[in-house]
Amino acid sequence: MKKASKKIGLIIVIILFGSVTIFTALVVLVSVNAHRQSIAEFEYLRSVAAARAAERGREEEVEVVQFDALDAEMRAINPDYVGWLRIDGTNVDYPVVRGEDNVRYLNTSFTGERNPNGALFMDFRNLNITTMPHLIIYGHNAPQGGLFSELHRLIDSDFLAENDMITLEVNGELLEFTIFDVRLTDITDYAYHLDFSYSYAFNYFTDRIEAPLRAFQIITLSTCTNCSNKDARLIVQGYR
């Protein structure tokens, strides 16, 4: 009887171990496939942008993806497109969308495919990009790299000193922001504030986040961290 019980217990352990192993393998496989899908998608989008720039005789700017024709081309693929974001020295070189909420693009790619890596998306409340005092762009800290995973490199002060510019192209206009803060925080941080309906709101906001006095527009890039706290975030803030 005892031998039979031991055998049953051993079988249960083996089954549980096997189930955990299979589940872990599936999770890794899904993550890898999502990463490959994201890479293929963004390589395609960059090639479209480069081809359009070449057609306009601007081959000298093809590599940095700053093109007047970019907006129309991207909106033909996704009407939610609002701009192209880039940070020198990193692989942050992606189109940005703005949905009807801050949920859709958490698990939907730029081309509309379901993908746990999602897309870079602007806060849905940022309606007038060039004049609104504060812009927020969200993106996943993709486990296989890509999207906003490289924001973590900016924590290194030496790396940041050489790569402190954020550029956002909107309707052919290039908005350039100088990074002034990179920090670990959480979703309650005042850095996520977007209510500027009262007269002194922006001055109060810039004081709270310790932005340079000459700032007239702030951009905040937000991503999750590798810690167990689901509310933890890494934010990168720039001004112009």
DSSP the chain: -HHHHHHHHHHHHHHHHHHHHHHHHHHHHHHHHHHHHHHHHHHHHHHHHHHHHHHTT-GGGTTTT--TTHHHHHHHH-TTEEEEEEETTSS-EEEEE--SSSSGGGSB-TTS-B-TT--EEE-TT--STTT-SEEEEE--B-TTS-BTGGGGGGGSHHHHHH--EEEEEETTEEEEEEEEEEEEEETT-GGG-----STTHHHHHHHHHT--TT-S-EEEEEEE-SSS-TTEEEEEEEE-
pTM of the model: 0.79
Residues 6+ apart with CB under 8 A from 134: 126, 193, 194, 196, 202, 205, 217, 218, 219, 220
Q: Which CATH number fits domain 2-239: 3.40.50.720, 2.40.260.10, 3.40.1350.10, 1.10.1200.10?
A: 2.40.260.10
- Check residue 42 and give its pLDDT: 67
Q: Where are the domains of the chain?
A: 2-239
- Average pLDDT of each block of 10 consecutive residues along the chain (240 residues)? 59 55 41 58 70 56 54 93 96 97 97 96 97 97 89 97 97 95 97 95 97 97 92 98
